[in-house]
Copies of this chain bind each other. A is one copy, B any other.
């Protein structure tokens, strides 16, 4: 694979300086257009050592308008990063729409290094590459332009380069112990790179291998590809064509969904309710503190019809969880910073640290519910979200998070009763909006969407709990029970003191 990048290509000084003014002007022009377009550009640099990447980045820093470019390096993880799923730091570092993010190291780096230096097992390596494929596919579907550069140097060139750096007084800053070790293991590093490229080279996120020894050739090549890629993407216009075929919809009749098989007569009387609530609350307190001490995080997703009692269920749940540990994220319209990122970004940013709890009052499932039913997102995009969401939740679970998903179900009559009651109760009136009435009219579509959501995203490791909520007491206790069960299962039996 890298033979084509060891043929000694160079560009002489004159040619370089003749090409430069045009390239720089183009890049600045395109950056200006990019700021009005609604997508981000992500440039990954992998391959050579830090010194070469540093030179290239300085050059790009000179060429680009510094107002709309971020240079990001992912070094040692902070404890806030360590205590969340692995990709959290990358989501956190994604450039906003209209900006270019140049990643000095990326989601490839750690795994490549582990493979080159520490014999990371093949399946772990491949697994990580599949995660990357999922992430990059999502980013590209969300409109991002991804350019992945592999900057290559032959073993001899790299060695010579290192020896030259060793004589430079700045050398000790520009290269690290890690660089030296990777240089010694050049063959393994290249093998890991080849394999990574092999597994992750897609039309929507292509690898570009660049011969790196001659700085003029390297800079100009990267610059030209960045320019041409940006130009092409801007020419496409605001609409990203659907890159995935739309799968056939499930043949669901809105009158025969999984919701209709739920027995809505389930209920609890007051004394029973109080007894259960108290017992579950105490167990929850113990379990969440135990989780805290074991560094296990908990994510609770609450979905359901308007007026199904999500708020009330959350309040009862919180009575069992110390306020120091829990956070409720109310999912409403996104802020402009959220809108400038892929849709999962706003959920990633609120993931709890190890030992903490985030309750999402509505969630990423909005993508396949409200956004689907109200036509806010094209079918190809929300259909793809099933896989995107599954991948996201897999990452939570792989990190060790306990994940609980509850859908509170009430029938249309009960909803109407509650809407009317809200209208009559002054301090509840604000909860009822025109949109709620509109959504009510769209109920058959929503039922179908819920049914398909369950089909596509209820798995053994993260099942959907459909909860009969015509009786609020029953629903609240059920939510507490599912949260408690999931958490206890995740924690295993408590050691006897």
Chain A residues in the interface with B (C-beta under 8 A): 24-29, 32, 50, 53-54, 57-58, 61-62, 65-68, 70-71, 73, 75, 78-80, 102, 104, 169-170, 173-174, 282, 285-286, 289, 311, 314-315, 318-319, 322-328, 330, 332, 335-337, 353, 361, 426-428, 430
Contact B173 A289 (CB under 8 A): yes
Q: Select which of B79, B325, B335 is within 8 A of A335 by beta carbon.
A: B335
Bound together, the chains give a CA A62 to CA B426 distance in angstroms of: 17
Instruction: Given A57-B323, A286-B170, A318-B61, answer yes or no on A29-B427 (Cβ-Cβ < 8 Å).
Output: yes
Q: Are B282 and A169 in contact (CB under 8 A)?
A: yes
Known: A66-B314, A361-B67. A285 touches B335 (CB 8 A): no
Contacts of A361 in B (CB 8 A): 66-67
Q: How far is the CA of A311 from the CA of B319 in the complex (A)?
A: 53
Interface centre among A25, A61, A289 (most CB of B within 10 A): A61
What would 22 A/B residue contacts be, using CB atoms closer than 8 Å? A25-B426, A25-B427, A26-B427, A28-B428, A29-B430, A54-B323, A57-B323, A58-B323, A61-B315, A61-B323, A66-B315, A66-B328, A67-B361, A75-B324, A78-B353, A102-B323, A104-B324, A173-B286, A174-B285, A335-B337, A336-B337, A337-B337
Choose one: B25, B173, B326; the contact of A322 (CB below 8 Å): B173
Q: How far apart are the CA atoms of A57 and B320 in the complex, in Å?
A: 12
Give every chain B residue within 8 A of A173 (Cβ-Cβ): 285-286, 289, 322
Known: A65-B430, A78-B80. 20 other contacts (CB 8 A): A54-B323, A61-B318, A61-B319, A62-B319, A66-B318, A66-B328, A67-B330, A70-B327, A71-B323, A71-B327, A73-B323, A73-B324, A78-B78, A78-B353, A79-B80, A80-B80, A104-B324, A169-B282, A169-B286, A174-B322
Name the B residues within 8 Å of A428 (CB-CB): 28
CB distance from A253 to the nearest CB of B (A): 35
- Complex: A365 Cα to B363 Cα, angstroms: 39
Which of B58, B68, B170, B323 has a CB less than 8 Å from the CB of A318? Answer: B58
Residues of B within 8 A of A336 (CB): 335-337
Chain B residue with the shortest CB-CB distance to A426 = B25
Q: Which residue of B lies closest to A28 (CB)?
A: B427
How far, in whole Å, are A325 and B24 apart by their CA atoms in the complex?
A: 25
Taken together as a complex, chains A and B put the C-alpha atoms of A442 and B254 apart, in Å, by 65
Give the distance in Å from the alpha carbon of A132 to the alpha carbon of B337 in the complex.
30
C-alpha spacing A326/B61, complex, angstroms: 12
State in angstroms the CA–CA spacing of A61 and B221 once bound together: 58
- Rounded to whole angstroms, the CA-CA distance of A73 and B353 in the bound complex is 13
Decide: B66 and A282 in contact? CB cutoff 8 A. Answer: no
Q: Which residues of B contact A71 (CB under 8 A)?
A: 323, 326-327
Measured between beta carbons, the chain B residues less than 8 angstroms from A54 are 322-324
CB-nearest residue of chain B to A431: B65
> How far is it, in angstroms, between the C-alpha of A173 and the C-alpha of B285 when the chains are bound?
8
The chain B residue sitting closest to A29, CB to CB, is B427
Residues in chain B near residue A26, CB distance under 8 A: 427
A428 to B67, CA, bound (A): 13
Residues of B within 8 A of A325 (CB): 73
